[in-house]
């Protein structure tokens, strides 16, 4: 009985004499417990709304607070739709400006095939001698321009990103120098194509095919985009462009120099 009374007494005393360090530990545990409860609530809500775990994004806040922002399929679809409309508007603005540029990539493929696709960005070519005019136009339209390489600019506005490559015209070809090599594009690889009530200069389906097939391993999305172009490819023209197209890796270029 004495031992029990002693234990009770020491416990009460301990409660009164908890050190600052111990208080901090208890507070931390309480915060962790609150965070766990919050996570369970969010997870339960996500399950009720049919949101998959991989569709949630964790964001670390200050201290121990942890929050999950859930992005539903509808929200992603709305974002993609808004982004697509912004991209179309920018392409229209470029066409209406009268500035010389060439469209390539997935948007060029969609214009040719008339089959909607998902787009990471808008790929364009601009002759170096025309860049000052294009840059002035873009700045007036409140685009942000970043020079990432000597002949490459990343251009952003809203949800849209333009991947702009600068090249030079020489005789019957366009020459693009990059950090990894030099491309020699035959002029036959580019066509004037009807678009809405106007027309747009784009990379031909034959040249797009050559670049994609000869480039790095294709993603499933790129494979689908190539398949859409198959029925628009002229086999004879494909061979002619293939014979004239040339790519020299930077390692070989240094040897030649």
Q: Tell me the pLDDT tens digit for each residue of 120-148.
A: 899 999 999 999 999 999 999 999 999 99
pLDDT reported for residue 110? 92
How many residues in the chain?
A: 257
- CATH code for the domain defined by 87-256: 3.30.460.40
Q: What average pLDDT does the structure give for the chain?
A: 79
Mean pLDDT of all residues in 231-250: 93
CA nearest neighbour of 199 among 100, 73, 76: 100
pLDDT reported for residue 223? 73
Half-sphere exposure of 200 (CA within 13 A, CB side): 26
Cα distances (Å, whole numbers) of residue 200 to 7, 17, 92, 203: 88, 80, 10, 10
Minimum mean pLDDT range among 8-12, 124-128, 177-181, 208-212 = 8-12
Alpha helices in the chain (DSSP H): 2-16, 20-48, 73-97, 105-113, 131-140, 205-214, 220-229, 235-244, 250-256
pTM of the model: 0.67
Per-residue model confidence as pLDDT tens digits over 50-89? 544 444 444 344 333 444 444 577 888 889 999 999 999 9
pLDDT reported for residue 64? 39
Which is more confidently placed, 61 or 102? 102
Burial of 215 (0-12, 13-18, 19+ CB in 10 A): exposed
């Amino acid at each position: 009985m004495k031992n029990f009374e002693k234990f009770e007494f020491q416990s009460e005393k301990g409660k009164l004499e908890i050190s600052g360090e111990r208080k901090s530990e208890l507070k931390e545990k309480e915060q962790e417990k609150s965070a766990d409860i919050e996570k369970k609530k969010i997870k339960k809500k996500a399950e009720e709304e049919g949101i998959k775990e991989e569709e949630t994004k964790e964001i670390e806040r200050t201290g121990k607070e942890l929050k999950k922002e859930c992005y539903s399929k509808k929200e992603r679809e709305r974002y993609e739709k808004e982004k697509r409309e912004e991209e179309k508007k920018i392409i229209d603005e470029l066409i209406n400006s009268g500035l010389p540029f060439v469209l390539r990539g997935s948007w060029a493929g969609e214009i040719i095939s008339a089959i909607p696709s998902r787009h990471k960005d808008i790929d364009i070519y601009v002759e170096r001698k025309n860049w000052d005019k294009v840059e002035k136009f873009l700045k007036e339209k409140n685009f942000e321009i970043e020079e990432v390489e000597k002949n490459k600019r990343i251009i952003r506005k809203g949800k849209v990103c333009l991947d702009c490559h600068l090249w030079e015209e020489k005789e019957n070809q366009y020459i693009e120098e990059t950090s990894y090599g030099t491309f020699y594009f035959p002029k036959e690889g580019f066509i004037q194509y009807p678009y809405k009530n106007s027309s747009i200069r784009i990379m031909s389906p034959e040249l797009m095919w050559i670049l994609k097939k000869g480039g790095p391993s294709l993603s499933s999305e790129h494979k689908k985009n190539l398949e859409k172009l198959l029925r628009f490819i002229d086999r004879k023209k494909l061979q002619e462009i293939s014979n004239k197209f040339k790519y020299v890796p930077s390692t070989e270029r240094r040897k030649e120099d």
